[in-house]
Amino acid sequence: MKTLRDKKAVAFFLLPALIVYTIMVMIPIAVSIYYSLIDWDGLGPKQFVGLSNFVKLLNDKIFIRSFTNNLLYIVIVMVLQLGFGFIIAVLLTYLVKGRGFIQTVYYIPSVITVIAIAQLFTSFYSYEPIGLFNIFRKFIGLEPIAFLSDYKAALPAVAAVEGWQYIGIYMIIFYSALVSVSPDILEAARIDGATELQLLFRIRIPSIANVILLACILSLVGALRGFAAPMNMTKGGPNHRSEILATYMYKKAFTSRDYGYGSSIAVVIVILSVIGVLLISRYMDREDA
């Protein structure tokens, strides 16, 4: 197959994407690593400071808080996306008519810009004028609370928005995996007297384990990329209670003009992301095997 080994052709097809991608994604990451070793306010001279930005990170209470917040943020996002996505997907498999319609509607939030979604939920969470969630709380006899200003509620509130928005994506991933499980096996088990729950845990879940794993990784990586929802709803407040790594990085770099320090946070995010991609490729290797 000499034709397919044509070096010129390989270069022709591969290089455009490779060059754009390298210049726009990989080189900036390298530059970020370089910036993380300097002290620069965007005006004066750049000063090489070695690893001191990273040492500062370890002693920065707000960074530690953002880091732990980010973990909680990821957990909430994943539970919502995977949990609800899975439940709806399972329920959908029992539906005979109108499945297309329901899928379509469930997926709509995923296509709307997060700026709009953030605006929308700011109104929903509002205390005064009373927002939807507080109307609901009152209805079931609870005191209304100011979700986005509350020290305890702010982080779950912003995480829930990102979680909610992309439920549809996971619903569809799970659904198409579930329907690929052979109906014959399910029917046979039903005839043997298995309940639907047993079917779910003994047959369906084990046979789509791979997809579940992939969905977990996708959701994890997505949550790690989270930024716009907290930035637009609380700006990380009150007092960093909803601060996550990306918002802290952005504020340090663009509000405080501490580009070096901001870049060192960026490097931490990249390291976490690369761990994410290692998980993905490990998964793909398993598939190949």
Partner 1 sequence: MLSQKIRTIAAAGLAAAVTLAGVTVFAAETRQIHYFSSRSASDDTMVTLQEVTDAYNAQGGNIELVIDSNADRISYDQKLRTMIAGGQMPDMFDLDPTPYAVELGEQGMLTDMDAFLDEIGEKDSYISLSLNYGRTPDGKLYTLPLELSTEMIWYNTDMFADAGVEAPETLDDLLAACAALQEKGYTPFGIGGGDGWPLLRLLATYPFRMTGNDFLNQLAAGEAKMTDPAGVATSEFMAQIGQYFQPGFSTTDVATGLNLFLSGKCAMYPTGTWELNYFTDENRPEGLNVSYFYMPTIDDAATAPNEYWAFGGIGLAVNPEAFDDEYKDYLTFIVKNYSPAYFAHQHLAPQKVEADDTADFDPLFVQIMDDTANLGETAARPWDVVLGEDVIATINDTLPGLCMGEETPEDFEAAVDEALEANAN
Partner 2 sequence: MSYKSRKKARKTVYWFVMIVFLIIQAYPVLWLLLAAFRPNMELLTEPFSFPRQLTKENFITIFTTSHVFTYIKNSAIISVISLVLIVLLSSMAAYAIAKLKFAGSKKIYRYFLIGLTIPYAVTLIPLFTMFARVNLINTRTSVILPLLAFQLPVSIMLFVNFYTFIPDEIIEAAVIDGASAYGIYTRIMIPLSLNTIMTVLAMNFITVWNDYAFSLVFINSTELKTISVGLSDFIGPRGLKDWGATYAAIALSILPTLVIYFSLNKKMTAGLTLGAVK
**Chain residues 243-272 in contact with partner 1, contact rule CB under 8 A:** 251, 254-259
**Token match 């530690």: residue?**
64
The residue range among 149-157, 174-182, 198-206, 233-241 that interacts with partner 2, by the rule CB under 8 A, is: 174-182
Q: Nearer to partner 1 by C-beta: 32 or 219?
A: 32
Taking CA atoms, 112 is separated from 25, 83, 148, 215, 222, in Å, by: 25, 22, 22, 21, 16
Site for partner 2 in 211-270 (CB under 8 A): 211, 214-215, 218, 221, 224-225, 227-228, 246, 249-250, 253-254, 259, 262-263, 266, 269-270
Q: Nearer to partner 2 by C-beta: 132 or 142?
A: 132
Cα separation of 69 and 55, whole Å? Answer: 20
Binding mask 8-47 for partner 1 (x = CB under 8 A): ---------------------------------xxxx---
Question: Which listed option, partner 2, partner 1, none, makes contact with residue 234 (CB within 5 to 8 Å by class)?
Answer: partner 1
Cα distance from N-terminal residue to C-terminal residue, the chain:
25
Q: Any alpha helices (H) in 38-113, and if so which ranges? A: 52-58, 61-78, 85-93, 99-111
Q: Per the structure block, which two tokens stand in for 68? A: 């732990």
Using rule CB under 8 A, residue 93 touches partner 2: no
Could you list the beta-strand ranges (E) of the chain. Answer: 38-39, 47-48
Using rule CB under 8 A, residue 128 touches partner 1: yes
State the burial class of residue 265 (Cβ atoms within 10 Å of its Cβ: 0-12, 13-18, 19+): buried
Q: Nearer to partner 1 by C-beta: 152 or 202?
A: 152
Q: Nearer to partner 1 by C-beta: 42 or 206?
A: 42
Q: Per the structure block, which two tokens stand in for 185? A: 């096996």
211: closest CA among 252, 169, 249? 169
DSSP state of 48: E
Q: Nearer to partner 1 by C-beta: 107 or 127?
A: 127
Q: How far is the CB of 208 from partner 2 (least distance, A)?
A: 8
Site for partner 1 in 97-126 (CB under 8 A): 122, 126
Site for partner 2 in 180-219 (CB under 8 A): 180, 211, 214-215, 218
Using rule CB under 8 A, residue 234 touches partner 1: yes
Question: Residues 200, 205, 216, 280: which binds partner 2 (CB under 8 A)?
Answer: 280
Using rule CB under 8 A, residue 129 touches partner 1: yes
Q: How far is the CB of 37 from partner 2 (least distance, A)?
A: 13
In Å, how far from its chain's centre is CA 25? 19
Cα separation of 89 and 84, whole Å? Answer: 8
| Cα 146-158-121 angle, rounded to 5 deg | 70
Cα separation of 40 and 251, whole Å? Answer: 15
Q: Nearer to partner 1 by C-beta: 85 or 236?
A: 236
The residue range among 127-135, 147-155, 184-192, 197-205 that interacts with partner 2, by the rule CB under 8 A, is: 127-135
Q: Per the structure block, which two tokens stand in for 264? A: 């060192």
Using rule CB under 8 A, residue 91 touches partner 2: yes
Q: Which residues bind partner 1 (CB under 8 A)?
A: 41-44, 122, 126-129, 144-149, 151, 233-240, 251, 254-259
